[in-house]
Amino acid sequence: MPDTFDFSARRVVVTGAAQGFGRAICQAFTSRGATVFACDIQSGGVEETARLCGPSCHAFTLNVADSQGVTALFDELIEKHGPVDTLVNNAGGVAGQTGLPIEQVTLAQWQAIVDVNLTGAFLMSQAAAPAMKQQKFGRIVNISSRAGLDVSLTGIQAYAGAKAGQIGLTRQLAHELGPWNITVNNVAPGFIRSNPSTEKQWQAMGKEGQAQLIDRIALKRLGAPEDIAHAVLFFASPWANWVTGQVLSVDGGR
């Protein structure tokens, strides 16, 4: 087996591709030959990702919580490019929210975060599954968070709940889709300064809080978006052919 991954035969959908982890994942796949369909609700950002990745990356504006939009995307991809065999559900985040006491959280605030982090992963996987079943091959990688395994640094109940739910969805789909040679795995990143939201969070910690966070990490340093992309490549590669339903914490050691 080669030492480097060759994805030249793969068609890969990546959500949340306008910045941060999503952009790094798109770059990692395209640099190894894949045809990538970068999706994000932020049209300008996702178009910039496609520009940075080159001609094998195609940008789509998509709200992953819009079931009709998701169905239309996969119909278009199958018609123009053929069936998708790899899906990375990276879209997520806190939807611009900050932590509040539970009695002050509105249903709309709760739903906005659950929609992008959990419902979106469900809808995208649902749309991708039929073609993967027909091919008897597929790779789904969900990007959750340490918040799904532990307490969220954000203090946002919906974020912790949605990321934990996404991990449960990963395990359930791994068993459901396994008979068709479709693996479903999960990457749980630690805190990484990867987008405006995490940068704002980092600055709000102050020097003391930043030092405390780094001190809790075994490697005593923060990671980079490329560290998450590399974990995704592993799950999508032949090296993970017999790996499914797993959660890989990429957090520098806790």
The catalytic residue positions are 159
Cα–Cα distances in angstroms (integers) from residue 19 to residues 22, 31, 146, in the given order: 6, 17, 20
Distance (Å, whole) CA 158 – CA 97:
10
What is the CB neighbour count within 10 angstroms for residue 71? 13
Distance (Å, whole) CA 170 – CA 17:
20
What is the CB neighbour count within 10 angstroms for residue 160? 21
Distance (Å, whole) CA 64 – CA 71:
10
Q: In this structure, what token pair is assigned to residue 122?
A: 């469900």
Q: Are 6 and 32 in contact (CB under 8 A)?
A: yes
- At residue 113, the 3 state secondary structure works out as helix
Q: Where are the beta strands (DSSP E) in 97-170?
A: 138-143
Q: Which residues are paired to 87 by β-bridges? A: 13, 140
Q: What is the 3-state secondary structure (H, E, C) of 140-151?
A: EEEECCHHHCCC
Distance (Å, whole) CA 244 – CA 173:
9
Distance (Å, whole) CA 142 – CA 245:
10
